[in-house]
Amino acid sequence: MKSVRSFASRKTPSRRRGQVLVEFALVLPFLVLILTAIVDFGFYLYDFIGTNAGVRAGAMAAMAARDDGTPLFTDSEIRAFIREGHGPLNPIEDGGIKIAAKPADPSYNGQLTSVTIEVQHPHEFILPVFIMNDQPMIMIRSRLETVRVSGMAP
């Protein structure tokens, strides 16, 4: 006499296999979407942190001045420092970099020159699901103001 348990165990594996495949087919698109969202957010953070690092590198270069107060680096060299500090992924265009110097700024007792560096950098998303306001990109903005210090030339 066969037990009920052995009879049920013979039919269960094929039914379970089909059920598992159907469940996996239903869940797989959501898993791929979540994974892509995580990767896309990681690229955004990399781009955001790289933009800020580039602005800091440019500010360090803009801060250096000779003993007479003239800047050590030109604006094009400062732009190169910004691009190098950002990194190679999704490079910063020259049009998105603004460098403005204010000679004899009253904020610094009329003696020091302040330099403002602003970067606007577009970040494009990989997955079109994350498009906001019909825009496939988001602008990353970074602004830093520093003081040009005389005698910082190496």
Taking only the tens of pLDDT, the chain with its 154 residues reads 555 555 555 555 666 778 888 898 999 999 998 998 888 889 889 999 999 999 999 999 988 888 777 888 999 999 999 999 998 888 888 888 999 888 765 665 556 778 899 999 888 887 766 666 666 788 899 999 988 877 766 5
Predicted pLDDT of residue 54? 93
Please report whether residue 84 resides in a domain: yes
Please report whether residue 153 resides in a domain: no
* Confidence (pTM): 0.74
Give how many domains the chain has, as a whole number.
1
Please report whether residue 95 resides in a domain: yes
Please report whether residue 40 resides in a domain: yes
Please report whether residue 121 resides in a domain: yes
Host domain of residue 135: 4-148
Predicted pLDDT of residue 78? 92
Please report whether residue 154 resides in a domain: no
Please report whether residue 34 resides in a domain: yes
CA of 33: how far to CAs of 22, 29, 43, 85, 127, in Å? 18, 6, 15, 32, 9
Predicted pLDDT of residue 132? 63
Please report whether residue 12 resides in a domain: yes
Predicted pLDDT of residue 121? 87
Tell me the helix, strand and coil percentages in the chain, rounded to 5. Answer: 55, 25, 25
